[in-house]
Amino acid sequence: MDIMEKKIEEFFERVRNAKSIAIMGHKNPDGDSLCSVLALAHLIEENFGVRPVCMYDGNIPDSLDNVPLRTHIKYFERVDMTQSFDLAIVMDYGNPVHIGGARPVVDRAGFVIEIDHHKNENTVGALCINDDTAAATAVIVYHIMRVGGLAMDSYTANLLALAILTDTGNFKFVRNGDALRIMADLVDSGVNVRNLIELMNNKPRKAVQLEARTAATAEFFYHGRLALATISKKDYKHLDGRGETVLNLLGQIQGVDYIVLLKEQKPEQIGLSIRSRKKPIDQIAVALGGGGHERAAGAVVRDTLENVRARVLELFKEA
Ligand SMILES: [Mn+2]
């Protein structure tokens, strides 16, 4: 038995012995974070008879409003933060700061398990089922399900498929065949990919119009290799999710290797999303206090828009 299977065995032992379970992903959940949490909770409920309490901090984008079992996750302020769960499972979080307001639940839990595909040196789990070669946290959930011989119903299959589709940018970011093999199995089990993509076409009109406008006013640097787009404080409230459409659109331009989206969340708080079509950029995100994957990373910097913009331009000088 390899190390991963041993860890998964322990995972099942912990789940079997827990009378109360809390599950959470990262703040401002994306498709992988939200759907991996819901899929694992559903698998535990169906197979072990305990209904985990799922919680999140921040906002869930409107594009994910129609995912199956969406109502099974609650905003953390609607959960009693003083209760101690036997088991807390933290998923897809990357860095403890991203746990956000649900952190007291982790600190009070009898035991903490984490399931993640981010590089993370600062783990919170006593049991870490982590694999940074996995294209999505849902890939690890799938393996847990298979190792445990758990039954997969259509809720689980659709949630896992949604998580994989969103986190791989519809398979653009896969680094091995695992996610594709899993997707093949999910499709054979009845998942309709087109329906899932259609289900996410649910953004408010203002959000899409803002994304289009933002892409239209992007600036270009370093012989057109870096595209930089900015969303001001006034527009930020209309953004749905991370502005993936802007990043994708600018990434279609000939000669653009790197795309940065600066989002003025507050007057001195700038969210950044960085994408690369060339060299890894996760170190640039780390230099700004964030992290992520080689070709898709981000950060939140507490500084003015002008200063963050200048720092980003400086960091990309060498790229
Ligand atoms: Mn993920």
pLDDT value at 318 more than 90: no
Q: How far is the CA of 25 from the centre of ligand 1 (A)?
A: 9
Ligand 1 geometric centre to CA of 283 (Å): 18
Instruction: Check residue 290 and give its pLDDT.
Output: 92
pLDDT tens-digit series, residues 132-162: 999 999 999 999 999 999 999 999 999 999 9
pLDDT band at 292 (very low <50, low <70, confident <90, very high): confident
Query: What is the distance in A from the centroid of ligand 1 to the CA of 33?
Result: 6
Q: Tell me, what's the pLDDT at 243? A: 92
State in Å: Cα 52 to ligand 1 middle.
20
Q: Ligand 1 center to residue 222 CA distance, Å?
A: 31
> In sequence order, which ranges of 49-177 are alpha helices (DSSP H)?
103-108, 137-147, 154-167
As a whole-number percent, the residues of the chain with pLDDT over 90 amount to 93
**Ligand 1 centre from 177 Cα, in Å?**
17
pLDDT bracket for residue 245 (50, 70, 90): very high
pLDDT at 120: 87
Q: Where in the chain is the domain with CATH 3.10.310.30?
A: 205-315
AA identity, residue 219? E
| Residue 67: pLDDT band with limits 50, 70, 90 | very high
Arch. (CATH architecture) of 3-199: Alpha-Beta Complex (3.90)
Provide mean pLDDT across the span 180-197.
98
Gap from CA of 249 to ligand 1 centroid (Å):
21
Spatial distance between the Cα atoms of 259 and 313, rounded to a whole number of angstroms: 11
Q: What is the CA(117)–ligand 1 centre distance, in A? A: 6
Position 221 pLDDT exceeds 70 = yes
Mean pLDDT over residues 7-32, rounded?
A: 98
DSSP 58-112: S---GGGTTSTTGGGEEEGGGS-TT---SEEEEES-SSGGGGGGGHHHHHH-SEE
Residues of each domain in the chain carrying CATH 3.90.1640.10: 3-199
Q: Beta strand pairing status for 269-276 and 296-301?
A: antiparallel
Structure-block tokens of residue 57: 């901090």
Separation of CA 142 and ligand 1 centre (Å): 14
For residue range 251-289, what is the model confidence (pLDDT) as tens digits? 999 999 999 999 999 999 999 999 999 999 999 999 999
Q: What is the DSSP letter of 77?
A: G
Question: Ligand 1: distance of its center to the CA of 32 in Å?
Answer: 5
The amino acid sitting at 306 is E
**Ligand 1 center to residue 257 CA distance, Å?**
23
241 CA from centroid of ligand 1 (Å): 14
Residue 61 has pLDDT above 80, yes or no: yes
Please, which pLDDT band fits residue 175 given cuts at 50, 70 and 90?
confident
Amino acid making up residue 100:
G
φ and ψ of 4, to 5 deg: -60, -45
Q: Binning pLDDT at 50, 70 and 90, where does residue 173 land?
A: confident
CA dihedral sign of residues 244, 250, 251, 257: negative
Tell me, in angstroms, the distance from the centre of ligand 1 to residue 96's CA. Answer: 15
16 pLDDT above the threshold of 70:
yes
User: Which residues lie at CB < 5 A from ion ligand 1?
Assistant: 32, 92, 137, 167
Amino acid 250: pLDDT: 98
Average pLDDT value over all residues in the chain: 96
State whether residue 93 is helix, strand or coil.
coil
- Residue 30 CA to ligand 1 center (angstroms) comes to 8
CA distance 29 to 60: 6
* 14-23, 115-124, 291-300: range with highest mean pLDDT: 14-23
Model confidence band, residue 1 (pLDDT cutoffs 50, 70, 90) = low
Please tell me the distance between residue 18's alpha carbon and the centre of ligand 1 in angstroms: 26
pLDDT at position 35, please? 98
pLDDT-based confidence at 172, cuts 50/70/90? Answer: confident
Average pLDDT over residues 93-109: 96
DSSP one-letter string for 240-274: -TT-HHHHHHHTTSTT--EEEEEEEEETTEEEEEE
The pLDDT confidence band at residue 293, using thresholds 50, 70 and 90, is confident
- CATH (residue range 205-315): 3.10.310.30
Predicted pLDDT of residue 5? 95
Model confidence band, residue 126 (pLDDT cutoffs 50, 70, 90)? very high
**CA–CA separation, 145 and 174 (whole Å):** 21
301 Cα to the center of ligand 1, angstroms: 21
